[in-house]
Amino acid sequence: MLILFPVTCFKMSKRKSKATSDATAFKSRRLTTVATENAPDDTNHQGPSSSSFTATGDIGLIESISLKNFMCHRSLGPFRFGPNVNFIVGNNGSGKSAILTALIVGLGGKATMTNRGVSLKDFVKTSETAADITVKLRNRGPDAYKKDVYGDYISIEHRIWTDGSRTCKLKNKSGHLVSSKKEELTGILDHFNIQLDNPVSILSQEMSKQFLHSKSESDKYKFFMKATLLEQMRADYVYIKHTKTVTRQQVERQEECLKDLKQEFLQKKERYEKCSSFSELKAVLENLKKAMAWCLVGEKEQLVQQLKERIEKEENNPKHQDNLQLCQTKIRQAEKKLQFIKSRSDSLRDEQKSLSEDSRKLKEQVKIVSKAHKEQELVYFRALNKLKQLEEEQNLLQEKINKAKTSKSVNSEEQKQHRKRQKTLCDLKEKLVELQNKCSQLNQEISNKHQALFKGREERDKLRLEERNVQASVESKLKRKNQLHASRSNKLKRFGDHVPELMALIAEAHTKGRFRKKPIGPIGACIHLNDPTLAVAVECCLRSFMKAFCCDNYKDEAVLQEIMSRFYSKGNRPQIIVSPFSDKLYNIDGRKAYHPEYPSVPDVITATSPVIVNCLVDMRGIESILIIKEKDKARRVMQQGRPPKNCREAFTAEGDQVYPNRYYTSDFSMAKYLGGDLETEISMLESDLENHQAQLSRFQLHVNSVTEDIVRMESSLNSTVVTLKKTLASMNQVKATITELETAVEEQIDDISSLEEVAQENQEKMEAEKRTVQEAKMELDKHRKQAEDADSQYSSLRDRIDQLSEEMEPLKDEQLKLEAECAKHERNLKILENKFKAHEGNVQAMKNDLAQREEELQEYVAKATEISPERQQVTSSTKSIDTEITRLKRKIKVYESSHGEHEQVVREYAEALALYREKANQVRDLRRFIDRLDNIMSDRQNRYKVMRRSLSVRCKLYFSNFLIKMNYCGSMIFDHNNETLAISPDRSSL
């Protein structure tokens, strides 16, 4: 249950420019209010009439909040809230905590403040590119923030991207954009007194558990101090005392300066006493000035000559031009090969496409021809059966005729023919039963073979899938092996093949002044382990931060992103963390995980810069993570009883992640970036490669064997189908014969002449049917030949298509290699072109500098000629001559001041004396002011202690045992799963 309710919040006067006469005076203001239903009118919920409270819901009230693609919710809200206590209830996963998390992030809070993620990108819904949060704040009444600009409402729209960045838009009531600066949002929060880091304002689930489970009175007292802003007041007093101490030290330094003023006053007092001749010094000074002029000319001439030599050396250096031409030649050769491969591949692809179309047409033609063949075969067998039936009838007629002619043995012959027909009919029925049994067996055999063929094909597909997985694993391990081989000479290649080139470009950009401060990274390259056996644990803890870079500001981040875009695509570049650089480590003693036996992450790593450790503390919270080597001990420490103080999670030496209520097994078995023994890792990779390659060979052999079995099963299935067709044809013939014998009607024909006429007609029908059978036979042979020809053409065409596919595979591999090579050469060409342009620019800059220096030389020669027409040979340096000139000028100046008028000397002495007295009076007044400030601060601090004691007593009366029952004037938001942890305050007690 998520409970949000508004309470009048005290706001210290130091947050505003207005001062109050009483140190304990506060200015009341409404904070955030959320409601799940339409709240009643604000006038019905105002507090008691007092100067310490304002009308309910004037400013800072959260009118609504809506989420899109946030955490696991595609769309949530908008939720419209009222000014009083609001309850948001629902099952687990319905979005209660998402609303509180979105409220913190939407008002500008960090991800770590929510206890729901370490980075903003964790809040973007999976498979989405961005998440949107819209928070609407009320802005009414006389204390409204820029009422003429924003109106009655302020809409804060946040968009969070998958790379961890976010944008903020502040809109007015009409929906028009007012500002997108973070400073404007900070000003709004300060004006509304919305304190995201104050647990009395927003109390998350983790913080409430931590506070409620804490038995330390000191923790509760710290919570009280922070919630009442007394901690901030105490810090302000400490700051004022520190500033007073610094001021006192500055006053003491000013007192030291008084001694110098007094010394100067004494020197001016004694000037008139010393006078001497200085005409000789002036002559020497003039000679030194002439020598100085021609000495400067000589130095300028020497610089011009050196610059000419450098320009000549750079212009005669063909290195950049040769490298550029060589790279262009390689690109042309590679493009030529690639063009040939592409043309060959395109021709094969076109031929395959054409053959596929022909194959499809042939397949349709084969179906048509086969269908026509079967139909013609049916016509032929029907005609043949009809012919046989006519022959049988003709034989019967002939027998009847013979019977009629031989009337003596009519009865005996008829009985004999009847018995013969009965025997033939029994034999045919037995044959029909045998054929039917054979058909059933063949159908069952075909079904079994179909099932076996399906299983074989399924097994072959499964083997091919496993073969591809093993092949991908082999390629991954081979790539890793190449990286390790390359990292023998350059450890940065562990973090990617392009990292050394990236670091070189970063150094070059920093040299040119493109960065305010040089970025630091990758973080994994800047970390060293005190114990090498903990490499896997540290890598599992840091994960993606191993390849991340640190930037001091967003301008440097933009420059770094532009450099990275040369080597990485938009979604694959390393993470860039922006945080101001500091030379000092954070003080984490108060929030560091402590255990007497096991170290935390900062204890086991050593970084080359404090920036790295500070960044990992901000982004990953490494100060609250312990390293426990053994699994059993890690479970016992984290899950049996209360975890160690400030400990949030732990990692084992194998990389397993241990929480107080869950345990995750690591997917890593070896350190990828922090591993120390390269040769051991390379040998293990080589062994794994041999095993995988042997496994791949076994899979290939198995696939070939299964494929051969499938071919054999297909051949056997086809032969069985042909046998079934023949058996069905024979069965149909037997059925027709049986039908003819059973339906034969014994006719008694006494007239021989009529029987002969019928026999003659039947003979004519037989002749016609024989001609029909012959024609059907010829047509059947024709269709059979067409079907065989079509099958042959289709098989040859499929063989050619398979052959083309086999020919295209190596061409594709070669094309990919050539494309990669061309891309590599093009990157090198771009780098070389940039270097060549930089070289030409450098030469041109030196030429421009030479021209400028030659002009300066002419000016120096002209000036030197004016000073001394004849050129002088000078052996001393300009520095020594200048030192001598300065010394003479100072000496002459002293002599001139010594020989000045008496009144001028007296006036200078009087001025020095007045200045000395003035400074002495100022120092005395400052000392009096500091003493008075001591008295004021002592009085204020006593009042602060009295107020703190009074508030402590009152809170002790109202708190009882749980913070959630505290009747304190502050806006509170609780997030606790399925429990009610807040009550509405009684403001009358204030």
Q: What single letter denotes the amino acid at residue 304?
A: V
Q: Which tens digits make up the pLDDT trace of 113-161?
A: 787 778 888 889 888 899 999 999 999 888 899 989 999 889 999 999 9
User: Which residue is listed with tokens 């400073």?
Assistant: 183
171 token code pair: 């809109």
**Below-70 pLDDT ranges, the chain:** 1-58, 210-212, 214-215, 268-283, 403-419, 480-490, 669, 675-685, 742-755, 872, 875, 891-906, 909, 958-990
549-551 and 576-578 strand pairing: parallel
Phi and psi at residue 22, to the nearest 5°: -110, 135
The full DSSP string for 534-588 is GHHHHHHHHGGGGG-EEESSHHHHHHHHHHHTTTS-TTTSPPEEE----SS----
Q: Which residues contact 393 (CB under 8 A, 6 or more apart)?
A: 762
Q: How far apart are CA 903 and CA 278, in angstroms?
A: 22
Pairing of strands 2-5, 86-88: antiparallel
Predicted confidence (pLDDT) per residue in 200-255, tens digit:
777 777 777 766 676 677 777 777 777 777 777 788 788 888 888 888 887 787 77
CA-to-CA dists, residue 498 to 253, 276, 491, 567, 678, angstroms: 56, 76, 12, 7, 20
Q: What was the pLDDT predicted at 795? A: 80
Instruction: Give dist(CA 164, CA 306) in Å, integer.
Output: 52
pLDDT at 167: 92
Give the pLDDT score at 684. Answer: 66
Round to whole Å and give the CA distance between 404 and 48.
138
Question: CA 260, 263, 267, 268: dihedral to nearest 10 degrees?
Answer: 70
Q: Helix 319-405 to helix 410-486 angle, to the nearest 10 degrees? A: 170
Compute the C-alpha angle 957/961/964, nearest 5°: 90
How many other CB atoms are there within 10 angstroms of residue 477's CB atom? 18
User: Which pair of structure tokens corresponds to residue 599?
Assistant: 């170290």
- Give the DSSP letter string of 220-264: HHHHHHHHTTHHHHHHHHHHHHHHHHHHHHHHHHHHHHHHHHHHH
| H helix runs in 46-107, sequence order | 96-106
Q: Residue 900 CB: number of other CB atoms within 10 A?
A: 14
Q: What is the pLDDT of residues 592-640, one digit of tens each?
A: 898 888 999 999 898 888 999 999 998 889 999 999 989 888 988 888 8
CA pair distance 131, 626, nearest whole angstrom: 33
pTM of the model: 0.31
Positive/negative CA dihedral, 349, 351, 353, 355: negative
Report the interhelical angle of 902-959 vs 217-227 (nearest 10°). 120
Query: Could you tell me if 774 and 384 are in contact, meaning their C-beta atoms sit under 8 angstroms apart?
Result: no
> In this predicted structure, what is the pLDDT of residue 961?
43
Coarse DSSP helix, strand, coil percentages of the chain, rounded to the nearest 5 percent: 65, 10, 25
- Picking from 350, 365, 362, the residue whose alpha carbon sits closest to that of residue 797 is 362
pLDDT score at 282: 63
